[in-house]
Amino acid sequence: MNDTGTLLVSGGTEKVVRVWDPRTGSKNMKLRGHTDNIRALLIDSTGRYCLSGSSDSMIRLWDLGQQRCVHSYAVHTDSVWALASTPSFGHVYSGGRDQSVYLTDLSTRESVLLCTNEHPILQLSLQDDTIWVATTDSSVYGWPAEGQTPQKVFQKGGSFLAGNLSFSRARASLEGSAPVPVYKEPSFTIPGVPAIVQHEIMNNRRHVLTKDTVGSVKLWEITRGAVIEDFGKVFRLMIRKRSYLRWLVYLHGSPWMLDWGACLFTWILHNAFLQKYMRLI
């Protein structure tokens, strides 16, 4: 939405950018050009221009007054998931599934690889001279961005001219002409807690075995919501150990292997039978 609240842009799986008037709820226009899902949108403060990023790896600049695409930028090799612009709307920072952040001059089409990450990029936020990057990892990273004077980044070298066809960057990458990132390490890192990616409920229904994004395996007690043991990186082994607890007992001189789950089920049926039988008597 623009600063005055008179325009709202939206996009989705229909591959089109829709422009709305939030005051009346009416649709002003529909902009076509992308060939895949639209994943990111930006609109300038005046409501004149709009930027869109798509799963087709393209960034498009739209003139809402003319209702058409005026520029397209092929800087990524995969889906574009995040956009952030300078205050003047003259430069755009973009990131996505290719784990890279690019800075692009919207007027000259000059682009530079600002940095690369270990995970796909979900969100970008420019604050002064730092671009904050959120990825599928739980940590947040702050990279130098020169947000007030982005020309300084281009002076460091390594820039290229953004193409206008989606396959141009992918072809350049295959030919070995991939750009080198300007910055190798982030200026700031806000560490996050590893996310749980796998879990198994134990047979006693009180404990859960989890595995997080760094591969660490932990045993939780559900009733307390607390970790009671940390096993490291041995998920499948611990499932076998914790799930199949049995006891060897002797009944009438013969060995029996008892599964606690089967015993509990038998005990419940036995009690139900006794209650029904006593009512009949």
Q: State the pLDDT at residue 262.
A: 52
Token output for 58: 């393209």
Architecture of domain 8-190: 7 Propeller (2.130)
**Confidence label for 20 from pLDDT (cuts 50, 70 and 90):** very high
In this model, does residue 17 exceed pLDDT 70? Answer: yes
Distance (Å, rounded) from C-alpha 18 to C-alpha 7? 10
Contact predicate 150/91, CB 8 Å: yes
44 burial level (CB within 10 Å; 0-12, 13-18, 19+): middle
Q: Which amino acid is at 3?
A: D
Q: Which has more confidence, 12 or 268?
A: 12
92 CB neighbour count, 10 Å cutoff: 25
**Per-residue pLDDT tens over the stretch 123-157:** 999 999 999 999 988 899 999 998 889 999 999 88
The whole-number average pLDDT for the span 51-78 is 96
Q: Which has more confidence, 176 or 89?
A: 89
Token output for 211: 């595995």
Distance (Å, rounded) from C-alpha 163 to C-alpha 144? 25
Mean predicted lDDT score pLDDT of the chain: 84
The whole-number average pLDDT for the span 155-169 is 81
Q: State the pLDDT at residue 239.
A: 54
